[in-house]
Amino acid sequence: MSPTNSMNQRKNGAHDDVSESSERPHLLSQVKSSGGMTISPELFEKLYLTPKTAATGDLRKRFANPTPLGLMGFVISALTFSAILMGWGGATTLVGVAGIFYFTGPVLLVLAMIFEWIMGNFFSMMVMGMFAVFWLSFGVLETPSWGIAASYSPNGDAAEGAASVGYNAAVALYLMVWGFWLFTTWIFTLKTNTVFSLIFLFAFISSFILAGAYWKVSTGDYSMAMKLQKAGAAVFFVVALLGYYMTVVMMAAEMRISLKLPVGDLSHFWPKSDVNFAEMEKGQ
Where in the chain are the domains?
73-279
Residue 208's pLDDT band, with cuts at 50, 70 and 90, is: very high
Nearest C-alpha neighbor of 146 from the set 134, 158, 154, 130: 158
**In the 8-state DSSP scheme, what is residue 38?**
P
d(C-alpha 83, C-alpha 81), whole Å: 6
Q: Which residue has the higher pLDDT, 220 or 283?
A: 220
Task: Give pLDDT, residue 228.
Answer: 98
The mean per-residue pLDDT over the stretch 188-195 comes to 92
pLDDT, residue 277, reads 45
Distance CA(254)–CA(241), nearest Å, equals 20
Question: What does the pLDDT read at residue 267?
Answer: 81
pLDDT-wise least confident of 74-78, 137-141, 204-208: 137-141
Q: How far apart are the C-alpha atoms of 218 and 166, rounded to whole Å?
A: 7
Say how many C-beta atoms besides its own lie within 10 A of residue 148's C-beta. Answer: 18
**Per-residue pLDDT at 9 exceeds 90:** no
Rounded to an integer, the average pLDDT of 55-64 is 62
Residue 71 has pLDDT above 50, yes or no: yes
pTM, to two decimals: 0.76
Q: Give the pLDDT confidence score for residue 33 in this predicted structure.
A: 33
- More confident: 244 or 191: 244
User: Which backbone phi and psi does 111 adopt, to 5 degrees?
Assistant: -60, -45
Average of per-residue pLDDT values in the chain: 81
pLDDT confidence of residue 15: 47
Task: Work out the pLDDT band at 58, boundaries 50, 70, 90.
Answer: low
Partners of 261 in the β-ladder: none
Query: Does the pLDDT at position 30 exceed 90?
Result: no
With beta carbons less than 8 A apart as the criterion, state whether 207 and 174 touch: no
Range with lowest mean pLDDT among 43-57, 141-155, 175-189, 220-234: 43-57
With a cut of 60, say whether residue 28 has pLDDT above it: no
The more confident residue out of 192 and 88 is 88
Nearest to 45 by CA among 276, 264, 271, 277: 264
